[in-house]
């Protein structure tokens, strides 16, 4: 390994496609039609990144609805915490 690595000038990291393919294979019940994921993370510069891979539009719609409900819950919890702190 090179000890001269400059952390300020690294190439942008991308999650390897092979990892995403493996993650996709771990989802669902075996058939391609029931597989899917959506992943949200920050890149090395702190930018939000969202990747999604779904076997069908139905799976994609289901994941989107689940995310929508999750985000609403998180927002409601933040509001109630902020409201209770006053």
- Are residues 45 and 24 in contact, defined by beta-carbon separation less than 8 angstroms? no
Q: What string of pLDDT tens digits covers the 86 residues of the chain?
A: 556 888 777 788 889 999 999 999 999 987 888 999 999 999 888 899 999 999 999 999 999 999 999 999 999 887 766 665 44
Domain boundaries, the chain: 14-85
Any idea what DSSP says for residue 55?
A: S
Neighbours of 24 (CB within 10 A): 16
Give residue 5's pLDDT: 82
């Amino acid at each position: 390994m090179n000890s001269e690595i400059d952390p300020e000038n690294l190439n942008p990291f991308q999650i390897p496609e092979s990892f995403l393919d493996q993650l996709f294979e771990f989802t669902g019940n075996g058939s391609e039609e029931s597989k899917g994921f959506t992943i949200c993370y920050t890149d090395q510069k702190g930018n939000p990144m969202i990747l999604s891979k779904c076997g069908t539009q139905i799976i994609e719609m289901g994941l989107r609805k689940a995310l929508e409900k999750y985000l609403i819950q998180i927002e409601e919890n933040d509001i109630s915490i902020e409201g209770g702190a006053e």
